[in-house]
Amino acid sequence: MSPEIKRNLQEEQPVWKKIIVESHLPDSLYPLRELSRNLWWVWNNSGRELFEYIDKNLWKEKEHNPVFMLAEVNYKRFQELENDEYFISEMHKVFDQFNRYIDERKE
């Protein structure tokens, strides 16, 4: 390798930076984040059904992993869910069940 090429390679070292990517999950759908990060949904039918309702195909594609699925849901779909009275009601019911379960474990 010529000295000129070596010098160019040494001068053009990459600069690495840490990047933190935040979810685009709207605040009103925050319970989904909490539910997705606890395995409670695995043995709770209503928890699984809630995630499947968001996007049945994506739920299958991401092999029933709610964290991966939520990362792939587009913002337009989240907006639709925010305005879906049935979904919001179900999400709150499931989240209440989850919180009761967690509270029982603390006692």
Please tell me the predicted confidence (pLDDT) of residue 13. 66
> Per residue in 3-40, pLDDT tens?
776 666 666 666 677 766 656 789 999 999 999 999 99
Please tell me the predicted confidence (pLDDT) of residue 20. 63
Please tell me the predicted confidence (pLDDT) of residue 10. 62
Sign of the alpha-carbon dihedral angle for 89, 53, 100, 82: negative
Please tell me the predicted confidence (pLDDT) of residue 7. 64
Read off the pLDDT of each residue in 68-76 and give the average, rounded to a whole number: 94
Distance (Å, rounded) from C-alpha 63 to C-alpha 24?
A: 21
Q: Read out DSSP for 39-101?
A: GGGGG-HHHHHHHHHH-HHHHHHTTT-HHHHHHHS-HHHHHHHHT-HHHHHHHHHHHHHHHHH
Task: Break the chain into its structural domains and give their ranges.
Answer: 25-106
* pTM for this model (two decimals): 0.77
